[in-house]
């Protein structure tokens, strides 16, 4: 039985940021003398991931660095982050051209971010019957985890040491179902994006609230139509089962304010990724950008320009040869039927 086809989706800015800070001491320059350590580090990690997962297509999401619909809606979005090193900015600006020259597929959505590309990629894979692996160091993509989409969260130690998260592993980490992760994040907030959470509902209480009530939609409906009676009874019953003091009344008091719901709904709107982007993927058209394998001469020329022979050799092996794992599921992936 042939394996389902696999789309590897890469949060390019996330990887560039990590590799800039991790590899800056190398001061690697390309053949034109421009900073290249972040570009090389990102590419090296993606080559390792392609070698591991044997994808059929690779898609890179990039941020629109000129405008942001989220910043227009909320000027404080991501405020407080340190100014970017000019060398990092230079490599962020050049990343798309490098990847396009290599033959990869890149998407820079107007006013949006790589997170939106990830969301649309997961939706595309589901509709097309493909599997999807999102590579990122950002937790936002956890909202897209499903039977068909997993997230390789890049941490210290690189590709081989990074966790591959599926619905079961996400539940083990956070105590919530994958389909509720976005609600969990909206309750908790995200300090890195300067998005405060719902007051009094932190990362420990949010999973309890969602697992016991099923969804925030159920919570709001109970508050609107039953004055929160079901919420209080459900949470107090949970507390009795686990041997802790009752929390139902205090949680209701925190959630019953207009400010709590406004904060939750605002965070949901800011954190939700766009799922309707045109990714330009045409997997049935041979030679389309992003489809593997790539042309050897092109790979040798583009990767060779970074000036690291070992990476050029790896790229030629990984990007220009048919996957060695055809006929079996990629590492860590099963079909939905096998999951059951």
pLDDT of 170-195, one tens digit each?
999 999 999 999 999 999 999 999 99
Give the per-residue pLDDT at 332.
56
Q: Return phi, psi of residue 314, to 5°.
A: -65, -40
- Give me the number of domains the chain comprises: 2
Q: Could you tell me if 135 and 11 lie in one domain?
A: yes
Q: Could you tell me if 207 and 305 lie in one domain?
A: no
User: Does residue 264 belong to any structural domain of this protein?
Assistant: no
As a whole-number percent, the residues of the chain with pLDDT over 70 amount to 94
- Whether 217 shows a pLDDT value over 80: the answer reads yes
Give the per-residue pLDDT at 336.
38
Query: Which range has the worst mean pLDDT, 11-15, 159-163, 254-258?
Result: 159-163
Q: What would the mean pLDDT of 89-111 be, rounded to a whole number?
A: 97
Q: What is the CATH number of the domain that holds 193?
A: 1.10.150
- Whether 6 shows a pLDDT value over 70: the answer reads yes
- Whether 328 shows a pLDDT value over 50: the answer reads no
Average pLDDT, the chain: 93
Give the per-residue pLDDT at 339.
37
pLDDT of 300-324, one tens digit each?
999 999 999 999 999 999 999 876 5
Please list the residues that pair with 151 across neighbouring strands. Answer: 134, 165
User: Does residue 321 belong to any structural domain of this protein?
Assistant: yes
**Which among 207, 226, 256 is the end of a domain?**
256
User: Does residue 263 belong to any structural domain of this protein?
Assistant: no
Q: What would the mean pLDDT of 198-224 be, rounded to a whole number?
A: 96
Size of the chain in residues? 340
User: Does residue 267 belong to any structural domain of this protein?
Assistant: no
Q: Could you tell me if 161 and 293 lie in one domain?
A: yes
Q: Could you tell me if 248 and 285 lie in one domain?
A: no
Q: Could you tell me if 206 and 161 lie in one domain?
A: no
What are the angstrom distances between the C-alpha of 323 and each of 6, 52, 128, 135?
Answer: 12, 10, 21, 19
Q: What is the CATH number of the domain that holds 112?
A: 3.40.50.1010
Rounded distance between C-alpha atoms, residue 333 and residue 147, angstroms: 9
Tell me which DSSP letter residue 54 carries. -
Give the per-residue pLDDT at 333.
57
Rounded distance between C-alpha atoms, residue 146 and residue 268, angstroms: 19
Q: What would the mean pLDDT of 97-125 be, rounded to a whole number?
A: 98
- Whether 220 shows a pLDDT value over 90: the answer reads yes
Q: Could you tell me if 59 and 150 lie in one domain?
A: yes
User: Does residue 88 belong to any structural domain of this protein?
Assistant: yes
User: Does residue 262 belong to any structural domain of this protein?
Assistant: no
pLDDT of 41-94, one tens digit each?
999 999 999 999 999 999 999 999 999 999 999 999 998 788 899 999 999 999
Q: What would the mean pLDDT of 133-153 be, rounded to a whole number?
A: 96
Give the per-residue pLDDT at 156.
81
Confidence of residue 160 (pLDDT cuts 50, 70, 90): confident
Q: Could you tell me if 108 and 220 lie in one domain?
A: no
Model's pTM, two decimal places? 0.92
Q: Name the one residue in this structure whose structure tokens are 């959630």.
A: 255
Q: Could you tell me if 108 and 62 lie in one domain?
A: yes
The alpha carbon dihedral of 225, 227, 228, 233 has a sign of negative
Q: Could you tell me if 26 and 139 lie in one domain?
A: yes
Q: What would the mean pLDDT of 238-254 be, rounded to a whole number?
A: 96
- Whether 155 shows a pLDDT value over 80: the answer reads yes
Q: Could you tell me if 226 and 280 lie in one domain?
A: no
User: Does residue 188 belong to any structural domain of this protein?
Assistant: yes
Q: Could you tell me if 127 and 163 lie in one domain?
A: yes
Give the per-residue pLDDT at 210.
97
User: Does residue 265 belong to any structural domain of this protein?
Assistant: no
Residue 207's domain spans which residues? Answer: 179-256
Q: Could you tell me if 95 and 206 lie in one domain?
A: no
């Amino acid at each position: 039985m042939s394996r389902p086809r696999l789309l590897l989706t890469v949060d390019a800015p996330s990887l560039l940021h990590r590799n800039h800070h991790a590899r800056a001491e190398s001061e690697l320059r390309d053949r034109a003398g421009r900073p290249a350590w972040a570009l090389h580090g990102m590419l090296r990690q993606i080559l390792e991931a392609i070698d591991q997962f044997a994808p059929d297509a690779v898609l890179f999401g990039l941020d629109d660095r000129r405008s942001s619909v989220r910043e227009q809606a909320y000027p404080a979005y991501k405020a407080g982050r340190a100014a970017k090193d000019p060398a990092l900015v230079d490599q962020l600006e050049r990343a798309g051209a490098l990847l396009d020259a290599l033959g990869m597929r890149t998407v820079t959505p107007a006013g949006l971010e790589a997170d939106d590309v990830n969301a649309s990629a997961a939706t595309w894979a589901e509709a097309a019957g493909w599997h999807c692996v999102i590579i990122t160091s950002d937790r936002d993509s956890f909202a897209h985890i499903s039977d068909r989409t997993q997230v390789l969260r890049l941490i210290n130690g690189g590709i081989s040491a990074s966790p591959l998260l599926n619905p079961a592993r996400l539940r083990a980490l956070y105590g919530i179902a994958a389909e509720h992760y976005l609600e969990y994040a909206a309750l908790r907030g995200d300090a890195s994006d300067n998005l405060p959470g719902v007051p009094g509902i932190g990362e420990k209480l949010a999973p309890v609230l969602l697992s016991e009530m099923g969804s925030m939609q159920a919570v709001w409906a109970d508050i609107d139509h039953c004055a929160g009676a079901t919420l209080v009874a459900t949470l107090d019953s949970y507390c009795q089962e686990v041997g802790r003091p009752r929390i139902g009344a205090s949680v209701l008091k925190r959630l019953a304010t207009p400010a709590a719901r406004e904060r939750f709904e605002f965070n949901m709107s800011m954190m939700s990724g766009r799922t309707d982007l045109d990714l330009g993927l045409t997997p049935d058209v041979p030679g389309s950008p992003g489809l593997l394998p790539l042309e050897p001469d092109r790979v040798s020329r583009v990767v060779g320009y970074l000036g690291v022979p070992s990476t050029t050799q790896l790229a030629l092996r990984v990007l220009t040869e048919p996957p060695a794992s055809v006929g079996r599921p990629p590492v860590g992936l099963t079909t939905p039927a096998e999951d059951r």
